[in-house]
Every structure is written in structure tokens, then in C-alpha cells.
A and B are shown apart, each in its own frame.
Chain A
Amino acid sequence: MQTYAQTNILDAVRKVIGDQRPEACYQCMKCTSGCPAAKVSDYRPHMMVILTKAGLAEEVMQSGIIWACSMCLKCKEYCPQDVAPFDVVTALKNVAISRGYKPPEMLVGMANNVLDYGYIIDKPMTITTTEFEEVSRDTLGLPKLAHPKDMEKFRRIASSFGYRRLS
């Protein structure tokens, strides 16, 4: 039987920076009604909020459904109680990572690339044009991209606020 026991998730969510107010939600369903992710997956922002409020969010962190959010910010824009489901779920994602839950594989790569190169993509891609030509940043004569001058320092500073390599 589930109890409203795991309130430490609620505290953890509150500690993440952002405008989240899960306690204010009165479950009007407006967020889920307009949510693009809800239309194409089982993601339900109103559920994310009420589970967080009730301290029962462990399950959704585990299932990974929290990563389905499309970041459209409609829920934040229209929420009548300024709960901002988006902020709650983003905080929940941060908490999930801190508790060792893995995000989608692609994000792992992106997150680590930032620590290595400063960007989510390690190097500019080679694209095929409609005339079947292969082009890349260099061949198009675009200037070299600047990176953080001191990547070591960059990594250290990132680490200081909890942003570490994901495995």
C-alpha cells in the first residue's frame, strides 16, 4: 500500500532552481489538455505534479516518462495557479539524475559532449545536399566555432554545481 511518505522528493524538487509550486495545483487538467507530448505518449503533466505533491513521484522518475516533455512551455503559460508543471517536471528530472536514474541515451551523449567540447554536438556534421554533394562547415567556408578557452576549468566549474559526466 502506498503512503504519502516520500516527501523528500518534494523537498528535493523545491531545491532545484525554478518557479515550481506543486503545492498550488488544483488539478484543473488544463496543462494536460494542451500538452503536445500528451497527444503522442502517456505523458500527463498534471499527474507529474500531483505525484510530486503527494511524494509519489519515484515511479515516474523510474519509468522515464518525465523525459517526454516537449518543452513547449504551454503548461507554464496557461497554468491558473502558476504551478508551472514544466518547472516541476524539469526539477523532477534534475532530482532523478541526482538519484542515479538515467535519462534517454541521446541526452547522455549531449550532456557529456558539453563537458568535453562545450556543445551538445562534438563536431560539425557532414550534410548531403539535394544535389548529392557532401558539405560541412569547413567546405562551406564558415568560420571555426569558438569553444570555451579552458575546458578543464569549464568542467571544474560545472562540477561545482553538480553537473558531472553521465554514464
Chain B
Amino acid sequence: MVEEPKVGVYVCHCGVNIAGVVNVKAVVEYASTLPNVVVAKDYPFMCSDPGQNLIIEDIKTKGLNRIVVASCSPRMHEPTFRKALERAGLNPYLLEMANIREHCSWVHEKQPQEATEKAKELVEAAVAKARMLKPIETVKMPVVKRALVIGGGIAGIRAALDIANSGFEVYLVEKRPSIGGNMARLDKTFPTLDCSQCILTPLMVEVAQHPNIKLLTYSEVQSIDGSVGNFTVKILKKPRYVNEDLCTGCGICEQKCPYTVPSEFNLGLGKRKVIYFEFPQAVPLKPVIDRDNCVYFKRGTCRACERFCPAKAIDFNQQPKEITINVGAIVLATGYGLYDVKTKMPEYRYGLSKNVITGLELERLTSATGPTKGAILRPSDNREPKNVAIILCVGSRDEKHLDYCCRVGCVAGIKHAYYIVSHIPDAKVTICYTDIRAFGKGYEDFYGRIRSLDNVQFIRGRPMEIFEDANGSLYFDVFDQNTNRLIRLNPDLVVLETGIVPDPSFEELAKVLKCSRGPDGFALELHPKLRPTETSVDGVFIAGVVQGPKDIPDTVAQAGAAASSAIALLARGEVESVPNVASVNQDLCSGCGVCEVVCPYTAIVLEARNGGRVAKVEATKCKGCGACAAACPSGAMTQLGFEDKQLIPQIEVLARGR
């Protein structure tokens, strides 16, 4: 198609953002002198309706076939103007933008004359490229109408339910034997002091019974291939050594098992059997045999569970099962773990002194399903503590540990003070805080209630360390800024509100998904304010603490948001390929394979041709990053919209000088 380019140039004032520095009229005048420029206009707000209509009208009436918009960064309005071109009946990729705001008026505020000259150059360069632009057709690909949610905590549960309720099939994969996550470990939730299990288990049951949800527990994601709309996921279902179809959940096996080991669900406090249910409200209510500690697997003896099981559901020969599924969208909701205070902060004696525990461990003590059946007892001697110190900000807001605020520690600590005084009426609690952050709905009120109690004292000071004397009693000093006193405390139980970090499983998953992580290790959202659930990988959404510390209300809200993003994708039913895909001229390709190595999206394969091999681009997987085109030594690989013959004229204008 040899078509004479007819370029329209539109220079935006952007109010005073551009026009306040750049002489817009001069730029328009200059643009109109350039070859092939048929129309050159300016307008206060090009992105507005009338602004866009200006372009559309000119395309229709003046037969324009290339458009240059000189305005803000294409990251702001390239989609806007592309849509305008489409409405005018022009291929949307015949647009080139010149950034005369972020790259010009905003950075050269004090030099208006030079800025104007620069703007003229940028416009001329854009026109040079625009002349050489070719229409690009994108491909629409169907989306598999199924989603995957990784992580069965409250975030994953909420997201799975929302997606399932919209009519789409969801796989919910959880690595532990039961769903519920950390919320299942809590006794009560702040500020309402609702029983955590009571509000969680109905949702867990809903997940188990939902016709659209396929629950895969004790399973882990092994690999993820493909791209948005079409992911191929391999999941490994670990063997429970229990036939889930035959098992009735009666629990006789657990009763009869003679061996115990420390309970992970109870964070090491208390024991569980080797064949066990994670907790009484587990979903699914099926036991699992801990193979590493099972005497049958180690020595070939025992088999008590098998002998006593009325349903003959024990199957020692069960094998791990690999399940491959196809989904269109993925929601990552792997939750959190606690900061490793034991190794990183030995000065607090967590792990050295039995009566120094974490807030989460206190939750297990106060829970009716916990190791002490809800009694708050000191781990060392099982006696009730009368003098409890709760220390906030352990490892948080600390350049030497976690530099961010854990967000939930303050109100959790206040809740824990409530636990102590409500269980043990004659106990005294001291909360050592730095700043109380009680930001959520009802939090300030809750803080006020506890602050007003006589047996709870708030000390504004962060202790440096904890000591244990020769008799095993704990003591530490703290400076209370409120009363200006240096105080020595002798608590019989210390509760540390530690910092929180992404669950350890996220490390590997992030690599598998190619999901970016922020400097704090949490999953990186596309925009911290406006796009909190999307990631740099199209079709992968994040929800809950994997994206950053947050409380349950925010987690649930974000899970809904992630679900809605996933639903939108599935409901649309199709995705468009990226316009700026790589394109290979197989006649020039030498089959060196550099492009395949360099591609981060595994979108290039080498195929046999004429006795040798050549590269082939899978346009549906290509994200238009351009790495392969840059790396190709023979010039066989180009990128649509950034071909040499489009870029070189642009560079020549800029390199010319004035």
C-alpha cells in the first residue's frame, strides 16, 4: 500500500501545564511548515470531548491518515487518542505522540524559549515517525472462562466465592490440609470481638459446597505457562494417605494414633497426632498423615489408623497427583507469616525464654480449640500470668529489620490486652507502644475502651531487650515518655506484636508467575492508589496481605476488587493481543536463538526450516517489550510500531541539532 501520508498535528495547551511555558502557537506554526502536514491546530484540552472531536472531524473531512498529538505522556492518554482514531474509522496505531509536558514544559519551566524550541523538535521527530507508521491489526483471543485462586485464607476464600457467584468456575488451591489461613488461628477479631472461627467457617463451608468451586487442598502450584486469558497451571496434590471419597471425617483414626508431634497450627504450642485434622472446623474435614513422622513410613509398624478406620479409607500407597488446568485469570492470595524474631532479634529472647510469645501464639492460647482449651497459661509452668507486658512494633518501622509499619499490630496488641484482663480479672497488663495506629472503623473507640481500663497501662516507649534472671523470671527496662520515667518491668508473660512478612510460599510463586515484588518483599501492584489488585503480569491479580500488610476488612475488600478484575476479564471473554508485537523475517533469521533466550515471556520458539532453524514469535504471548528486536544480530527481528525505518527518521531529527 503506497499511500501518501497526510499528517494532522494537534498541540495541546493542557490548560497552563504546557501553554504556561511553551509557546503553543509557535509550535503549531512550525508544524504546519513540515512536509506532509496537512493540518496543524492547538487546543486547550486535547483529551476532552471537543478536543477529540476536533481530530475525528479532521480525519473525516480532510482525509487525514496519520495523527500526531503533542501533549502529555502517552502513558496518560495514548489509549484515549487511539480510541478517538478508531471512532473516526482510522487504524488506532497510526497515532504518534510527542510528550511536550513531562519531557518539556514540566522540566524546563524556567526556560520558556528553549522549551518552545525543544517542543518544535519533538513534534518534528514525531511527524517523521508518523509518516512511516503502518496500520497494525491486533488479534482477539478467547479467554478460558475459569479462574484460579492461589491461597485459601480469607482473601482467597472471598475472591473464590465472588468469582464463583458470578457464574464462573474457580479452582481454589491451598497448600495446607485445610482452608482458613491465619484467620482460622485467631480467637476474636477486632474491634467487634467477633469470634473469628464463627464468622469464617460459614464462608469455608460455602466454598466447599459451592458448585462452581473446585477445592484443592494440601496442593501446591508447580508451574504456570501461557498468558492472560489462557494459563496452563500444573498443580501437585500431595497425598494425604486417606481416600477422601471414602473418609467420613469421623476422627477415630486421630483418636487411636499413638504418636504426637508439635502442632504447626498451634505454632508449636501443644501437640497433634501424626494422623490429624488441622483444627476441628477444618474444610475439608479429612485427616492427613504426616509422612515424615509416621511410624509406618519410617519403620513399617503401627497402622493403628488403618485398623480402626470404619470406612477403610486409609491408603498408605496413595501417590502424589499432578493436575493440569487451564484458566483465564489467576488471583494470588497467599497471605502472611511472622517476622523471624527468633534469629533476627535475639535480644527479645523469643525462642530462648518460654514465656516470651508472639501475638499469634497468644491467639492460640485464648482459642477454645487451642492447646490450653482457651485458658491463658504461661508456657513454662501452665500457670495463669498476673502481670503481662505487650510490646508493639517488634521488628517493624525499623531500618535494621522491616522498615514498614505492620498496620495491625497496634489494634492487635490492644485486643490482646483485652484478652488478658477478660480472662484473668486480677491480671495487670502493660502495653509498650511507639505510636498507636487505630485508623479503621471502630478502632479508635476500641482503643478508648481499653485505654480507660484501670488494669491496663499504656507506656510510650519501646524496650530494647528482655532479660531472664537466674530464677527464670523475665525483666526489662523501658523509658516511658508519657511520665518521663525509666521503669523496670517484671512481667510473667511477654507478648511480642511482631512485624509481618509475605508467606514463605510467595517467594517461589513470584518467580513462577514472574510477579514483581516491591523492596519490602510484598507483591507489587501496578499503581499504589489506582490499581491495587493488578500486577505487571496481565491476568494475574493480587489480594490480601501478599500485596501489603492490612487488616481483615481491607483484605476482604481487596479480595472483592481482585475478583471483580478477574470477572471482568472472564466476562469480556476475549483479550486483545498487544499491538507492538515482535515480528520475524524468517528469510533473514540465522537461527542463532538469542531472541529465545532473551524473551522474558517464552513467546519465541525455534522451529525447523530448510534443514536449519528459524525463530517464530507466538504473537499471543508476546508483550511487546522489544528485547528480542534489540538483541537480534541479523536484523531479522523487528517490533511492530518500532521498526528501524520508523525510528531512524525520528532520531535523525533529534540528532540534527539546531
Partner of B479, one of A46, A78, A80, A82: A46
Let me know if A32 and B486 touch, CB within 8 A: yes
Give chain B residues whose Cβ lies under 8 Å from the Cβ of A33: 461-464, 476-479, 486
What CA separation (Å) do A5 and B434 show in the bound complex? 28
What CA separation (Å) do A81 and B397 show in the bound complex? 8
Give chain A residues whose Cβ lies under 8 Å from the Cβ of B461: 28-30, 32-33
- Tell me the nearest residue of chain A to B488, going by C-beta: A39
- Residue of A33, A44, A74, A81 with highest tally of chain B CB at under 10 A: A33
Let me know if B398 and A74 touch, CB within 8 A: no
Q: Is B347 an interface residue (CB 8 A)?
A: yes
* CB 8 Å contact bits of B326-367 with A (1 = contact, 0 = none): 000000000000000000000100000000000000000000
Partner of A28, one of B400, B401, B434, B476: B434
* CB 8 Å contact bits of A54-78 with B (1 = contact, 0 = none): 0000000000000000000010001
Given the known inter-chain contacts A29-B462, A33-B462, please indicate yes or no for A38 contacting B398, CB distance below 8 A: no
* CB 8 Å contact bits of B389-420 with A (1 = contact, 0 = none): 00001000111110000000000000000000
Q: Is B223 an interface residue (CB 8 A)?
A: no
Let me know if A80 and B399 touch, CB within 8 A: yes
Chain B: minimal CB distance from A51 (Å): 14
Q: Is B621 an interface residue (CB 8 A)?
A: no
Give chain B residues whose Cβ lies under 8 Å from the Cβ of A38: 479, 486
Partner of B464, one of A26, A27, A31, A44: A31
Partner of A34, one of B401, B434, B464: B464
What CA separation (Å) do A46 and B460 show in the bound complex? 13
Chain B: minimal CB distance from A125 (Å): 36
* Residues of chain B in range 446-466 having any CB-CB distance to chain A below 8 Å: 460-465
Q: How many residues of B contact A (CB 8 A)?
A: 22
Chain A: minimal CB distance from B581 (Å): 47
Give chain B residues whose Cβ lies under 8 Å from the Cβ of A34: 463-465, 477
Partner of A30, one of B401, B463, B480, B486: B463
What CA separation (Å) do A81 and B434 show in the bound complex? 13
Let me know if A29 and B460 touch, CB within 8 A: yes
Give chain B residues whose Cβ lies under 8 Å from the Cβ of A27: 481
Chain B: minimal CB distance from A42 (Å): 10
Give chain B residues whose Cβ lies under 8 Å from the Cβ of A39: 477, 486
Give chain B residues whose Cβ lies under 8 Å from the Cβ of A28: 393, 397, 434, 461-462
Chain A at the B interface: mostly helix, strand, loop or mixed?
helix
What CA separation (Å) do A18 and B465 show in the bound complex? 25
What CA separation (Å) do A30 and B476 show in the bound complex? 12
What CA separation (Å) do A46 and B479 show in the bound complex? 10
Let me know if B397 and A32 touch, CB within 8 A: no
Let me know if B399 and A82 touch, CB within 8 A: yes
Give chain B residues whose Cβ lies under 8 Å from the Cβ of A32: 461, 479, 486
Given the known inter-chain contacts A29-B479, A32-B486, please indicate yes or no for A80 contacting B400, CB distance below 8 A: yes
Let me know if A29 and B478 touch, CB within 8 A: yes
Partner of A82, one of B400, B460, B476: B400
Give chain B residues whose Cβ lies under 8 Å from the Cβ of A29: 434, 460-462, 478-481
- Residue of B398, B479, B486 with highest tally of chain A CB at under 10 A: B479
Chain A: minimal CB distance from B460 (Å): 7
What CA separation (Å) do A78 and B479 show in the bound complex? 15
Let me know if B399 and A81 touch, CB within 8 A: yes
* Residues of chain B in range 410-436 having any CB-CB distance to chain A below 8 Å: 434-435
Give chain B residues whose Cβ lies under 8 Å from the Cβ of A30: 461-464
What CA separation (Å) do A33 and B467 show in the bound complex? 13
Chain A: minimal CB distance from B468 (Å): 16
- Tell me the nearest residue of chain A to B487, going by C-beta: A33
Let me know if A26 and B486 touch, CB within 8 A: no
Give chain A residues whose Cβ lies under 8 Å from the Cβ of B464: 30-31, 33-34, 74, 78
Give chain B residues whose Cβ lies under 8 Å from the Cβ of A44: 479
- Tell me the nearest residue of chain B to A74, going by C-beta: B464
- Tell me the nearest residue of chain B to A34, going by C-beta: B464
Chain A: minimal CB distance from B125 (Å): 44
Chain A: minimal CB distance from B484 (Å): 9
Let me know if B486 and A78 touch, CB within 8 A: no
What CA separation (Å) do A80 and B499 show in the bound complex? 13
Chain B: minimal CB distance from A7 (Å): 24
Give chain B residues whose Cβ lies under 8 Å from the Cβ of A82: 399-400
* Residues of chain A in range 103-157 having any CB-CB distance to chain B below 8 Å: none
Give chain B residues whose Cβ lies under 8 Å from the Cβ of A31: 464
Give chain B residues whose Cβ lies under 8 Å from the Cβ of A46: 479, 481
Give chain A residues whose Cβ lies under 8 Å from the Cβ of B465: 34, 78
Give chain A residues whose Cβ lies under 8 Å from the Cβ of B398: 80-81
- Residue of A27, A31, A39 with highest tally of chain B CB at under 10 A: A27
Chain A: minimal CB distance from B270 (Å): 33
Chain B: minimal CB distance from A29 (Å): 4
Chain B: minimal CB distance from A81 (Å): 6
What CA separation (Å) do A101 and B479 show in the bound complex? 29
- Tell me the nearest residue of chain A to B459, going by C-beta: A29
23 contacts between A and B (CB under 8 A): A26-B397, A26-B434, A27-B481, A28-B397, A28-B434, A29-B434, A29-B461, A29-B462, A30-B464, A32-B461, A33-B461, A33-B463, A33-B476, A33-B477, A38-B486, A39-B486, A46-B481, A78-B464, A78-B465, A80-B400, A81-B398, A82-B399, A82-B400
Q: Could you list which residues of chain A lie within 8 angstroms of chain B, going by C-beta atoms?
A: 26-34, 38-39, 44, 46, 74, 78, 80-82
19 A-B pairs besides A29-B479, A31-B464, A32-B486 with CB distance below 8 A are A26-B397, A28-B393, A28-B397, A29-B462, A29-B478, A29-B480, A29-B481, A30-B462, A32-B461, A32-B479, A33-B461, A33-B476, A34-B465, A39-B486, A78-B347, A78-B465, A80-B398, A82-B399, A82-B400
Q: Kindly list the 6 A-B residue pairs having the minimum CB-CB distance in the complex, ordered from nearest.
A: A34-B464, A29-B461, A80-B398, A32-B479, A28-B462, A30-B462
